[in-house]
Amino acid sequence: MTLEEKIAHIQSVSMEEARAEGNEIITAYKTALEKVFEDHKKEAVRQSQTRVRAESTNARQQKNQAMAKAQLDLKRQQGKVQQELKNKLFAEVADLVRDFMKTPDYDAFLVKCIESALEFASGEEMTIYINPSDRDKKEKLEEKTGAALTISTEDFMGGMRAVLRGRNILIDHSFKSSLENEYDQFIFSGGDDIG
């Protein structure tokens, strides 16, 4: 069952419960009003009509409140499910990143990032950091790029970071920052039209 089907099912069940509750309230009020009508013929007719209108409005309001509460509960549940799915998705992405880091393409990515940072610095003094998990790649990367690399004390999940202290600039090609940015900006589109 897809998320949309689950949401539609929950919405349908909630709406049926709200309608049943509203119908029970209306039925109870009608029964009470009919008894009053029988007991007080002429004068009661006028009073009961006034009461029926008032009680029907009240019942509709209660029904609307019940439906609004059901919709709010549904939205909360939808938000919770979306958060769980988002967390699961990003856990899978992190696994894919770790798998990518074991490939030659990752080494090429590091070389490209380091060369890009060197070009940006234009000879200015810069500290280039690689992730602690990439310690074994340090010598090969230094040979390919001609840059002195520093092993970071912080695990940033891979990629590289560079600091140009003279201009107070951080070049951040770390996977941790990229994933955090994507996580913060990620929202599920569609499925918000409940009601």
Using an 8 Å Cβ cutoff, are 7 and 191 in contact?
Answer: yes
Task: Please tell me the distance from the alpha carbon of residue 75 to that of residue 106, in angstroms, as a whole number.
Answer: 41
Model pTM? 0.60
Eight-class DSSP state of 189: -
**Identity of the residue numbered 135:** R
**What is the model's pLDDT at position 195?**
44
- Which residues lie below 8 Å from residue 30, measured CB to CB, with a gap of 6+? 52
- 129 by DSSP, 3-state: which? strand
**Identity of the residue numbered 91:** A
Note down pLDDT in tens along the chain; length 195 residues.
787 887 888 888 788 887 888 788 888 878 876 776 676 577 767 888 888 899 899 999 999 999 999 999 999 998 899 999 999 999 999 999 999 999 999 999 999 999 999 999 999 999 999 999 999 999 999 999 999 999 999 999 999 999 999 999 999 999 999 999 999 999 888 655 544
**What is the model's pLDDT at position 46?**
80
Task: Please tell me the distance from the alpha carbon of residue 178 to that of residue 181, in angstroms, as a whole number.
Answer: 5
Using an 8 Å Cβ cutoff, are 154 and 176 in contact?
Answer: no
**Identity of the residue numbered 20:** A
- Considering only CA atoms, which of 24, 6, 13 is closest in space to residue 67? 13
Give the H or E element holding residue 158.
Answer: none
The phi and psi torsions of 129 (rounded to 5 degrees) equal: -110, 140
**What is the model's pLDDT at position 48?**
84
Task: Please tell me the distance from the alpha carbon of residue 22 to that of residue 13, in angstroms, as a whole number.
Answer: 14
